[in-house]
Structure 1
Amino acid sequence: MATTTKTKTKVEDDHTPIDIDIPDNYVAYTLKTQKALPPVSWANIHKEINWLSFTILTVTPLMGIVGAIFTKLRWETFAFAVFYYFVTGLGITAGYHRLWAHRCYNASKPLEYALAMAGAGAVEGSIKWWSRGHRAHHRYTDTELDPYNAHRGFFYSHIGWMLVKPRRKPGVADVSDLSKNEIVRWQHRNYLTLIILMGFVVPTVVPWLLWGDARGGYVYAGLLRLCFVHHSTFCVNSLAHWLGEAPFDDKHTPKDHLITALVTVGEGYHNFHHQFPMDYRNAIKWYQYDPTKWFIWTMKQLGLARQLKVFPDNEIHKGQLTMQLKKLRETQEMLAWPSDSNDLPVISWDSFQEQSQKRPLVLISGFIHDLSNFIEEHPGGPHLLIKMIGKDATTAFFGGVYDHSNAAHNLLAMKRVGVLAGGMPHGLDDKAIPPSQRLKIARYNELSSPYNSSAGQSDGEGMFY
């Protein structure tokens, strides 16, 4: 009876969301109250090494390199090793990552079993363990609660976090949904058997039975293939947070780049993924390299996958527009702009006439301009400007004599020195604003009213006005 009760309690605990009772200020509270382990140093490194991961990640490549020196590589074995690299890689990307960690689609039981076995062949932990860490990574990206925090350096986020014991326990992340999945539970129970079978037995036996190269299969399709799968996956945590651009959001480190996609079986469009993690795609354009997306789509056509989730295009485009506006804002802030009308002195007509006797002042669209350093450079000749000194040249400037270009209007605005008392005549509103400022990027707090229908985001993203 006691055993039954204990087992029942364990099942209930596994099925109860672990984060159901966390405080609203969980992150700040945890960082304040949870003491981190001391930094790793030469004095304590022997105690801080995670010996299981350290052994797997160092001995395996060493054995593979030594084995390759003494083992001839046959083309059949090479082709199979590449094939098996993609099989086990998809076990991680299409299985561990997009199916179980993010629930991007639903898979049939045959496909789930296949992905669970293929994923075990990558020797990166069970589905449950892997997904728990990855969900923590997404929830606490770039913080001390992120198990592979990119801010701690490329090496740390790539492999260092596995070589030593974590300095701080990763932030809480719920995997109760996976505890209810019979395939996940089956893989977790039989994980050791599966990694031996899928990681080493299958890649050794297949070349042995088909072309008599058991040794080559073990070295190239087993050991070295495993190293490539490992570092391919690790690049999602390191290279994908270091190389590329952030076309959807630059709040955190994830970036998009083709090179990362090529070395991670399509996981390189990482900025998109972190912004829209429930989307079964990483690459949204047809020509972008994402074999994991193509695999999932193919499984759907074969009836083995369903309910492929995609984020609404409208919201994706909003993210792209936000970043485009940010870049435009950065460019805009590097340029010199004309003085605001509120910063210019208000000058009466009589004062304008009087001052025009001492320097070449011209009135255009209600603004007074000083053309001292431009008269000799005027493309139409200095005489056209000289005869307009002390006069209103609005009509002449806007088509009466010559319909000036946008560039001319922008340059003219930089020569403003005052505003005519009484303002500009009615109907000249469009002529008072130079073209470069008609689509100027403004933050929400720079708009005249915070309740404007085009008000910006709360974090002050740019917009047109």
Structure 2
Amino acid sequence: MAPSTASTTTADVDNIVPIDLNIPDNYVQHTLKTTKARPPFQWSNILNELNFLNCAILTITPVIGIIGAIYTPLQWKTALFSVFYYYCTGLGITAGYHRLWAHRAYNASVPLQYVLAAFGAGAVEGSIKWWSRGHRAHHRYTDTELDPYNAHKGFFYSHMGWMLLKPRRRPGVADISDLSKNPVVKFQHKYYVSMLLIMGFGVPTIIPWLLWGDARGGYIYAGVLRLCFVHHSTFCVNSLAHWLGESPFDDKHTPRDHMLTALVTVGEGYHNFHHQFPMDYRNAIKWYQYDPTKWFIWSMQKLGFASHLKVFPDNEVRKGQLTMQLKKLRRQQDNLAWPSDSNDLPVISYESFQEQAKSRPLILIGGFIHDVSTFVDEHPGGPHLIIKYIGKDATTAFFGGVYDHSNAAHNLLAMKRVGVLHGGMPHGLDEKLIPPSQRLKIAKYTELSSPYASSAAYSDGEGMLG
């Protein structure tokens, strides 16, 4: 998992040009067409497919931890320290690697940067430069072939398969020129292996040994097993957070929001919000949502170690939420039956209406002719009130003259339209003629912009009868 530690000279840093400065506009399609992917994975060729370093780290570590735990009693002090150190190294990834360096969601003082870089190294997930480069590619090319942990390739692949196997193709280009100029990032990259050993295993072994004489327990529980938990906690951001939960801000891609994911990822579980607003220092925007990383960054600001905490405009966040709510309502709306559009109904003269009413119960209300044959016996006021208006205009009686009918009555009546009276509607009833359920009916952009759009899609009532 550790990348190359090749150093960069000062001159190189000063002249670094963003790697994505001159990429073509159609970069993704261009890359997919012009670069050849590795052949599909085959079990028969598995030895040539594995990344042995990552396989060793991700398989040997838990084996050592489990065997060690069997033969090493767990002291309560060691247990508490292990949980504490888990959060320290976890925050090194979430508050450091992720929100500070990969997304630049806030500014951190130099001392805080070194602390986060050290604890991040203790999580053994590669250097800041390597980790951030992959994560920026993930955000830029989410769910495509250029996404290094593409969720469409399956839960296991996005969780850890992408590290165990050699990639089918290189991740998409992502600029990290800003990180190449950062002295803390350069320091950690240069001394990453040493920092990994010290922070990943040395510190969690030495502290329990010096303070309460449990070096072995510290190594097994705070070192090895803690490392396993940190690994899979981070991996869940790439897998579980793209599989479990809802999409309250955007459903274009796979990221999801779920409290369970937040609990196992040190607060990174509100992933749909994060992918929609990646520069926001928060992952959870509600006070009750679990996001210790947000609380940590906020606390560092209060203590003077962090500043310029970026927050996406609340108005735009709420637009995202409203968009998804409207899309959900639109799907519900599309599953309902609605009245026939006036343009689809036959135009009938008053004389023809009266003649047809002799053979079936037709009533005229607000310029529309309604067939009430299925409702005569169901009318709450008694069938006689409907029968007396067959072949007649019941507009005044329906709109409050006899009874000010409910929204449900208006909606039901509209479903019984069978024709439009020649000459149109009576004056002054424009708004009343639209059933309440349709006044707020959600229209697609294409429906609103098309000159042939159904008049029922509008909420202002204009043009109902054409």
TM-score, structure 1 normalization: 0.95
**1:128-164 deviation per Cα after TM superposition (whole angstroms, max 9, x unaligned):** 0000000000000000000000000000000000001
Structure 2 equivalent of residue 210 of structure 1: 211
Q: Secondary structure at the match of 1:328?
A: helix
Q: Residue 283 of structure 1: CA displacement?
A: 0.4
Change (3 A) 1:150 1:23: same
- The answer as to whether partners of 1:442 and 1:464 remain within 8 angstroms in 2 is no
**Structure 2: distance between partners of 1:377 and 1:216:** 78
Mapped contact 1:443–1:463 kept (Cα < 8 A): no
Q: Residue 438 of structure 2 contacts residue 459 of structure 2 at CA under 8 Å; is this kept in 1? A: no
Tell me if structure 2 keeps the 8 A contact 1:325–1:463.
Answer: no
2:19 match: secondary structure: coil
CA-CA distance at 1:21 after TM superposition: 1.0
Uncovered stretches (5+) of structure 2, i.e. residues with no partner = 1-7, 461-466
Instruction: Specify the alignment match of 2:88 in structure 1.
Output: 87
In the alignment, what sits opposite 1:189?
Answer: 190
Other-structure match for 2:364 = 363
Shift in Å, 1:445: 1.1
Say yes or no: does 1:384 pair with 2:378. Answer: no
1:443 maps to 444
Aligned pairs for 1:60-99 (under 5 A) are 60-99=61-100
Distance 1:333 1:463 in 2: 15
Report how far residue 10 of structure 1 moved: 4.0
1:11 to 3, 13, 18: 13
Q: Distance in 2 between matches of 1:43 and 1:10?
A: 44
Deviation at 1:463, TM superposition (A): 9.9
Residue type of the alignment partner of 2:417: R
Match for 2:396: what amino acid?
Answer: T
CA distance in 1, matches of 2:374, 2:248: 43
Count how many residue pairs are aligned between Structure 1 and Structure 2.
449
**SS at 2:185 equivalent:** helix
Amino acid at match of 1:371: V
Aligned-pair RMSD on alpha carbons?
Answer: 1.5
Relative to structure 1, the CA distance from residue 19 to residue 445 in structure 2 (aligned partners, 3 Å threshold; closer, same or farther) is same
Distance 1:202 1:8, change over 3 A: closer
Shift of 1:432: 1.1
Return the offset for 1:11. 3.5
Partner secondary structure for residue 368 of structure 1: strand
Give the secondary-structure state (helix, strand or coil) at the position aligned to 1:429: coil
* Structure 1 CA distance for aligned equivalents of residues 32 and 72 of structure 2: 51
Moved over 3 A (4+): 6-13, 462-465
When normalised by structure 2's length, the TM-score is 0.95
1:54 aligns with 2:55: yes
Distance 1:463 1:188, change over 3 A: farther
Residue deviations 1:298-356, cap 9 Å, x none?
Answer: 00000000000000001000000000000000000000001000000000000001001
TM-aligned CA deviation for residue 9 of structure 1: 6.4
Aligned to 1:230: 231
Partner of 1:289: 290
Distance 1:463 1:140 in 2: 38
CA distance in 2, matches of 1:153, 1:421: 61
Tell me which residue corresponds to 2:394. 393
Gaps of 5+ in 1: 1-5, 453-461
The amino acid of 2:220's aligned partner reads V
Identity of aligned residues (%): 77
Measure the CA separation in 1 of the matches of 2:336 and 2:373.
Answer: 22
CA distance in 2, matches of 1:404, 1:62: 73
Q: 1:145 to 1:262 in 2, by over 3 A?
A: same
Per-residue deviation, residues 52-74 of structure 1 (Å, max 9, x unmatched): 11100000000000000100011
Which residue number in structure 2 is paired with residue 455 of structure 1?
A: none
